A and B are shown apart, each in its own frame.
Chain A
Amino acid sequence: MTSPRVPPPPAGSAPHRQRPPLRRGAHGRVVAGVCRGLADHLGLHPLALRVGFIALTAVGGVGALVYAFLWATVEPAEGAAPAGGDRSRWLRQPDTGSLLVLTGGLVILVGGLALVQAWGLDLRLDITVPVLVLTTGAVFVWSQLDTSGRDRLLAPHGGSRQQAMGRLVIGVGLAVAGLVALGAQGRSLGELRDVGVAVVITLAGVGLLAAPYVTRLWRDLREEQAATARETERADIAAHLHDSVLQTLALIQRRADDPVQVARLARAQERELRSWLYAGPVGPTATLAGAVAAAGHEVEDLHGVPIELIVTGDRPLDADGQALVNALREAMLNAVRHGAPPVSAYVEVGTGSVEAFVRDHGEGFDPEDVPADRLGVRESIMGRMQRHGGTARVRRLEQGTEVSLELPVSREPQGAES
């Protein structure tokens, strides 16, 4: 147990005040630092606790007994005298041997008390024994809840689950035994009704006391689950970046002398990353917009020239739509092959027709001058559009060429654009 002692933060600074672990105080102690440590842990004034212990000692020596017990079991804080450091370790990380030692110690304690009683010194055992047993039980539960290993109690694969369960059972058992002893001392069974009421009230009080710990336990568990989820997500992202981005960067470094190849790699990677970051789980080619995007990406990959592709609206992909996509792909290929960047493509899916435009900034060409054997424009673009009831037009602009395609579509109701 070498966790550093957390200095108490200023009172009321945060809603969830970080409670320092229960340790015997190293500084400002009077006897063994029990009161000091308890005060730090509970956020009370040490003097109040000291007065309380002295007052309890006056009542049959209970205070002294509790003090001694805490002295024996509570870990000293960092920097405190190491004496007894080993002695109390068993309480937090028990094994079978230390449980035996504990049981033996309890037996010796009980025996000693009986001996002292027999000598005629009245220890008021009817009060001290129940209080002592109650304290023992409470400390067991306490240490269970307050160690950092308490999560293992609830974790299904926790290594020390059995130990923790054993400790919990012993603690609860002792506490109940103490209550029963306190309730039934020297009384007839007829008074058990009153005792029952007392027990119920006591349990209610204990429940009230335990509530903050239960909520804290619950909160810690939730926090841990959230942390695990975040960790998983981070690992996913890391794996993805490794598989895609890092590999591409390595490729780019190796091909640094080939600008076309570098641009192509960078563009393809950018697109891949973008679709991973922003795309939904929908299949990419089920709709016209998806098919257009796929065609655009393919052309970019083939020639390493970026295309600014804008699509508005969407509709299901049918045979006519596929023809438009093919013609558009051919137009984009022409633009990157014969034109000059920047190349833009705009596809507008309206209710009555689909319009597509591909524009480059090259020298431009006159459709009439294209040799008859060049199938690209004449057949793949114009012929294809005409066969599907659409039109295609090639315009020579002041700078560059624009191919526009238009395809009338039936006014069928389409789903919400998305």
Chain B
Amino acid sequence: MSQPRPTGSQGTPAARPGGPIRLVLVDDHRMFRSGVRAELDEVSGNRLEIVGEAGTVDQAVVVIREQRPDVVLLDVHLPGGDGRGGSDVITGCAGVTTESGAPVRFLALSVSDAAEDVIAVIRAGARGYVTKTISGPELGGAIVRVADGDAVFSPRLAGFVLDAFGAAAGEIAEVDEELDRLSAREREVMRLIARGYQYKEVAKELFISVKTVETHVSSVLRKLQLSSRHELTVWAMGRRLL
């Protein structure tokens, strides 16, 4: 799905051509679900429609298969399934598509911030990761971005990526296609995101378009998911500390 993105969409997207984004909330805390629901209702107007909620892995798989939403807001820690939480939901919903044929996309949401959890859910196939302390408008913007097939990186996730790929220590890919390292440009983008820059600020800083920033971020996400760089797993396992 690569329809043109609405202009000026940072955090406050304009109405989408294909109707509202259909959203499923998966979190084992009812209080948190109702909080997110209220917050999204407030900021999104009619651009988001919450079509289902689930509190466990098994419920989530059933609801997602039934509703075929555009985006699933997925907690990393969930009871049920094989005990791997959010990753199990993604595996259980492999191949499910929306009515327009696009794959169902997952945005991970967690309080954990532990590298192990974050890397695991991204490698399972989530399109992005944000912390639960994210503000309502930012969350709305992240959902729209994921619905459009782009990746959403929090500063924390960007920091993890820089660390895990050895980019902070100066390891840079010779060619962009190399899966085990970041390219110089990707490293710059990641560094700016880690510094708290929004995508459009990154674009301005690097004199590139927002679309190019999104391409770089998606490419980093792909590397994160596909890389066999063994340090990635070892690093995530060993890094229990924030």
Contacts and interface: CB of A to CB of B under 8 A. Distances in A.
Given A359-B195, A397-B201, A417-B163, A350 B168 contact: yes
Interface string A396-418: 01110010000000000000111
A349 interface: yes
Contacts of A346: 155, 159, 191, 194-196
A78 to B, nearest CB: 36
A25 B235 CA distance: 61
Given A310-B155, A313-B168, A278 B162 contact: no
Contact of A308 (B156, B162, B168, B238): B156
Interface in A265-320: 274-275, 278-280, 282, 293, 306, 308, 310-313
Contact of B196 (A278, A279, A293, A344): A344
A214 B28 CA distance: 43
A350 B238 contact: no
B194 A312 contact: yes
Given A312-B163, A359-B196, A274 B242 contact: yes
A279 B240 contact: yes
Nearest to B167: A312
B204 A310 contact: no
Contacts of B180: none
A418 B204 CA distance: 34
B133 to A, nearest CB: 7
B184 interface: no
A418 B170 CA distance: 17
B241 interface: yes
Contacts of B239: 418
A342 B135 CA distance: 10
Interface string B5-47: 0000000000000000000000000000000000000000000
A391 interface: no
B102 interface: no
Interface in A368-418: 397-399, 402, 416-418
Contact of A312 (B113, B159, B204): B159
Contacts of B235: 417
A278 B242 contact: yes
B63 interface: no
B6 to A, nearest CB: 21
Given A278-B240, A308-B155, A308-B156, A357 B195 contact: yes
A191 to B, nearest CB: 64
A397 B194 CA distance: 16
Contact of B158 (A278, A306, A310, A349): A310
A351 interface: yes
Interface string A326-361: 000000000000000011101011111000010100
Contacts of A275: 242
B163 A313 contact: yes
B175 interface: no
Contact of A351 (B163, B169, B204): B169
B162 A398 contact: no
Interface string A250-278: 00000000000000000000000011001
A349 B170 CA distance: 10
Interface string B212-242: 0000000000000000000000010011111
B93 interface: no
B159 A311 contact: yes
Nearest to A344: B196
A280 B113 contact: no
Contacts of A342: 196
Nearest to B113: A274
A280 B195 CA distance: 26
B240 A308 contact: no
- Of the candidates A282, A349, A417, the one having the most CB atoms from chain B within 10 angstroms of its own CB is A417
A402 B195 contact: yes
B241 A280 contact: yes
Nearest to B161: A312
Contacts of A416: 238
Contacts of B191: 346, 348
A350 B240 CA distance: 21
A416 B237 CA distance: 13
A372 to B, nearest CB: 29
Contact of A398 (B114, B163, B194, B201): B201
Contacts of A352: 170
B158 A348 contact: no
Interface string A35-64: 000000000000000000000000000000
A352 B163 CA distance: 15
- Of the candidates B113, B241, B242, the one having the most CB atoms from chain A within 10 angstroms of its own CB is B241
A349 B168 contact: yes
Nearest to B200: A398
Nearest to A359: B196
Given A278-B241, A278-B242, A417-B163, A312 B168 contact: yes
Given A346-B194, A417-B163, A398 B170 contact: no
Interface of A: 274-275, 278-280, 282, 293, 306, 308, 310-313, 342-344, 346, 348-352, 357, 359, 397-399, 402, 416-418
13 contacts: A274-B113, A278-B114, A279-B242, A280-B240, A311-B159, A312-B168, A342-B196, A344-B196, A346-B155, A346-B191, A348-B194, A399-B201, A416-B238
- Return the 6 tightest CB-CB contacts between A and B, nearest first: A344-B196, A310-B159, A312-B168, A312-B163, A346-B195, A313-B168
Given A274-B242, A397-B201, 10 more contacts: A311-B159, A312-B159, A312-B163, A346-B196, A348-B191, A357-B195, A359-B196, A398-B201, A418-B238, A418-B239
Interface of B: 113-114, 133, 155-156, 158-159, 162-163, 168-170, 191, 194-197, 201, 204, 235, 238-242
